[in-house]
Amino acid sequence: MAKEKFENRILSGKIHVTCKYEDGTVRIWDTKKEEVVQHIVDIVNEYQQEGYVLTLRQLHYQLVTNNWIVNHDSAYKKLGGILDDCKYAGIIDWDNIEDRGRIPYIPYYVQDVESALNDTIDQYRINRQKGQEVYIELWTEKDALSAILKRSTEKYHIQLVVNKGYTSSSAIYRAYQRCLYKIIGDQRVIILYFGDHDPSGLDMVRDIRERLQFMFLNGNHSDMFGDIHDVEAVFEVLPIGLTMEQIRDYDLPPNPTKLTDSRANGYIEKFGKTCWEVDALRPQTLTSIIEYNIENIINMEQYEEMLIEENRGIEELKSLIDKI
């Protein structure tokens, strides 16, 4: 981690932001900049100690949850400027905040043969889901959550799918192929889904379920399924968040429902004019929800056996490398 100062920035003064909502209500974010800066430092340091890297949006929701900022795009944009001030002034580590939409890529390389051999040990792993009766994937609409979700998907060795909203036909077809392969191999398939509690976020669960069911019933292997009940016996899309129970339990901050969303009317009839974003969950909470659901589905004894087998392979690799 690196705190690197480039220039002096003004870290004190008055903040006054007018936040106008679609329903005509107005809220004012009126506070002192130095107080916001201190909250940012405290939150970033806390997450650093636990090994998490934040996005601007996650930082925003931690402030909203504590009533330190108004939940509005205008306040969010202002916060982005304050966060930049903190980074340029050397107040927080640059590496503790990331932009997951702009990640550079360079092909893998090593310094020498010894480095390559050590990398082989570090990267060695087997399929930790081998022997399971259920095949699991974790899907989300939020790319901003991917770094947090990977902690769990890498731990249990399950596929992470980031849709960035409604998924494409090509991505659905690839998912259909993966799931069909597992079903042919006598595994049940469960897609765990984590998304926002808003008109589109909830509808994405229906969209994924119906499009995959359609392919099962009409594709080249449709003879495996007599009707929708046969599909449902081996395939399930299970929404694990956000739920109203989680919203209440963790006291998540509300957002006004976007009235321009074509699905808003149906949502408002059921839930009112308030919605919630999954980004508001603390990373620790998000991780615990995901791992609780995974462990309730898989055979944990079989999973532990795979970890033991993996460790045996690592020790064998070390012995081979020592001989080399």
**pLDDT tens-digit map of 254-279:** 888 888 888 999 999 999 999 999 98
pLDDT at 144: 80
Q: Three-state SS for 306?
A: helix
pLDDT band at residue 289, thresholds of 50, 70 and 90? very high
pLDDT band at residue 23, thresholds of 50, 70 and 90? confident
pLDDT band at residue 116, thresholds of 50, 70 and 90? confident
Q: What is the mean pLDDT of residues 53-62?
A: 90
Q: Residues 75, 28: contact at Cβ < 8 Å?
A: no
Beta-strand ranges (E) seen in 5-116 are: 14-20, 26-32
- pLDDT of 324 > 90? The answer is no
pLDDT band at residue 1, thresholds of 50, 70 and 90? low
Q: Does domain 132-298 have CATH number 3.40.50?
A: yes
pLDDT at 99: 81
Domain segments of the chain: what residues?
A: 14-96, 132-298
d(CA 216, CA 210): 10
pLDDT at 94: 92
What residues contact 324, with CB distance under 8 A and at least 6 apart?
A: 117
Q: What is the mean pLDDT of residues 136-163?
A: 92
List, as one string, the DSSP characters of 246-266. HHHHTTPPPEE--TTSTTHHH
d(CA 205, CA 211): 10
Q: Give helix 56-65 / helix 73-88 axis angle, nearest 10°.
A: 110
d(CA 150, CA 155): 8
- pLDDT of 236 > 60? The answer is yes
Q: What is the mean pLDDT of residues 95-118?
A: 83
**Ranges 44-48, 98-102, 116-120, 231-235, most confident:** 231-235
pLDDT at 200: 94
Q: What is the mean pLDDT of residues 154-174?
A: 94
Burial class (CB in 10 A: 0-12, 13-18, 19+), 180: buried
Tokens 């299970």 correspond to 238
Going by C-alpha positions, the residue among 167, 157, 151 that lies closest to residue 135 is 157
Average pLDDT over the chain reads 92
Whole-number percent of the chain with pLDDT over 90: 74
